[in-house]
Structure 1
């Protein structure tokens, strides 16, 4: 019983970590695109 709980908890932790990494990458891309749009507007 405890072993199943630990496995489920570990799987949930891995899933949340993977999701967080994708979110951070997406935010970075969004910030980069805003910067590029600003550069185009200035030039």
Structure 2
């Protein structure tokens, strides 16, 4: 295998690794956002019950 092909294959592997990392980060941010919304709603329900 010549050097140009080796560099191209290595670049593809790096790109795939970088894209999969981004996917995991975005998925994690989505979970964090969902947890924040749930916690905020729970706090709102608690305050509403205390106000009664």
Instruction: Compute the TM-score of the two structures, normalised by the length of structure 1.
Output: 0.83
Please list every run of 5 or more consecutive structure 1 residues that lacks an aligned counterpart in the other structure.
Answer: none
Please list every run of 5 or more consecutive structure 2 residues that lacks an aligned counterpart in the other structure.
Answer: 44-52
Q: CA RMSD in A?
A: 1.2
Task: Report which of the two structures shows the higher radius of gyration computed on alpha carbons.
Answer: 2
Alignment size in residue pairs: 43
Instruction: Compute the TM-score of the two structures, normalised by the length of structure 2.
Output: 0.71
* Runs (4+) off by over 4 Å: none
